[in-house]
Amino acid sequence: MTQRTIKISYGNHNDKKVIFVKFEKDIQLIQLIKSIPNSGWSPSKIAWYLPKNEINLQILKDKFQDKADIIFEIKDEPAIENILPETISQIEAFKKWMEHKRYSSSTVKTYVDSIRVFLKFYYTKRAEEITNQDMVVFVNDYIIKNKLSFSYQNQIINGVKLFYREIVKSKIEVEKLERPRREYKLPNVLSKEEVKLIIEAPINLKHRAMLSLIYACGLRRGELLNLKPLDIDSKRMLLLIKNAKGRRDRIAPLSPKIVEMLREYYKLYRPKIWLFEGQNAGEKYSERSIQKVLKQAVKKAGIKKPVTLHWLRHSYATHLLENGTDLRYIQELLGHKSSKTTEIYTHVSTKSIQNIKSPFDDL
C-alpha cells in the first residue's frame, strides 16, 4: 500500500449541505468512513459524504490523521452556529488568554476548537450551567458514539479544564474531570534497509536532503521546515532546532555524511531565508509538498507500507536504541519532556527480542 491521500470539501447532495470525503478505493478507509453515522456514497460525485450539520472537521482529522495525508479543499470550518453570544465572547476571551500566556498557535487552535465542539453540544446552556455529568453525557453521546480516539477525548478534556479554570467560574469541578485510560500504541518503525531505499529514491537533491535530514536527526515535519541555514553548525557538527514542540530548543548531532550532503545542496540552491524553500526565494517549503515528496519516494522504493514522515523519526529513535544509545540521550535528542514517552521505543527494538530462542525450536 502506498501513501494514501484524502480530499475533504464542502458541497451539496440531494439539496442538503454535506462534507465530501474523496479517496482512491481502499478497504481500510472505506471501513473507517462507514463507521461514521449517516455516511453515504455519491456515485455522481464519486465520493463519500457526511451530513454537515452532524459532524465537524475535527472528527475527520482524528479518524484519518494516521491513515493518510489529508488535503482540505476548504479554508476553515464555518463559525459555530446556534450558541449564545456570551459563550462566543467567552471563547474569544479564552483564545486571547492563551495567546497572552504565549501558548503555541497550534495549541491555541486545538484548545479553542475543542471547547467549541464541547459547547456546541450544549448550545442551549450557558457555559456556567454545564456540570461534570454533562461531560459524561458528551463523552458517551458524542465521542464514543462517533468512535473517536482516546487522544481526541483527552484533548477535549484538556481544553475544557483550562477553559473552565481560567475563564468560567461554574458548576464544573475541574479537578474531578477524568481523562480516559491511556491507549498504548506502538510506533511504526522501518528497517535501515527500507530507510535507505526511501531517502535514496528521489533524484532531486533537495528532496533527498529533506528526507535524509528528518531521519538523520529525528526531526518532526515542522522542525525541518522551520530550519534556517544558520541553524547548521558544521564546525561543531550540530543542528540547532529552535522553538520546537513545547517551545523548547534542542540540539542534535550531525554526521559527516549529512553535512556533506547539505553543503552540496546549499551550493546548488542557495536558500535565502529558510534552509528548504519553495519555488519562490524566501518562501518556506510547504507541508503538503514534503508529504508528496515522501509519497513519491515510498512508491519508487517499492515499499507497500503506509509510510508517513513521522515513521522516519520513529525509526531514528529505534535504530539509536538498537545501536546501544542510552535512553536518556534519545529523550534529549527527540525533545521529549517525559522519559515515559521515549520508553515506548524499547517495545519495538528488535535487538534483544531477536536473541530470544523460541521453545518451538526445542520440540
Residue 184 included in any domain: no
Rounded to two decimals, the pTM is: 0.56
Residue 78 included in any domain: no
Q: Which three three-digit cell numbers place residue 279?
A: 519555488
Residue 311 to residue 317: CA distance in whole angstroms: 10
Domain boundary among 121, 145, 176: 176
Domain boundary among 22, 45, 72: 72
Q: Which three three-digit cell numbers place residue 60?
A: 475527520
60 and 99 share one domain: no
Residue 92 included in any domain: yes
What CATH number corresponds to the domain at position 208? Answer: 1.10.443.10
Residue 186 included in any domain: no
* Residue 68: CB atoms within 10 Å: 20
DSSP 141: I
152 and 143 in contact (C-beta within 8 Å)?
yes
Q: Would you name the residues annotated as active-site residues?
A: 220, 245, 310, 313, 336, 345
Q: How many helices (H) and strands (E) does the chain have?
A: 14, 8
CA neighbours closer than 13 Å in the CB half-sphere of residue 360: 2
Residue 206 included in any domain: yes
196 and 213 in contact (C-beta within 8 Å)?
no
Most confident listed range (172-186, 210-224, 231-245, 337-351): 210-224
Domain boundary among 176, 209, 234: 176
Q: Which three three-digit cell numbers place residue 171?
A: 458548576
pLDDT tens-digit series, residues 16-68: 778 888 888 888 888 888 888 778 888 878 888 888 766 666 667 777 766 77
What CATH number corresponds to the domain at position 123? Answer: 1.10.150.130
Residue 48: closest CA among 38, 63, 57, 58: 38
43 and 160 share one domain: no
207 and 259 share one domain: yes
User: Mean pLDDT across the chain, nearest whole number?
Assistant: 82
DSSP 190: -
Domain membership of residue 16 as a residue range? 5-72
Question: Quick one: pLDDT at residue 182?
Answer: 61
290 and 309 in contact (C-beta within 8 Å)?
yes
157 and 264 share one domain: no
Domain count across the chain: 3
pLDDT tens-digit series, residues 247-257: 778 889 899 99
Residue 354 included in any domain: no
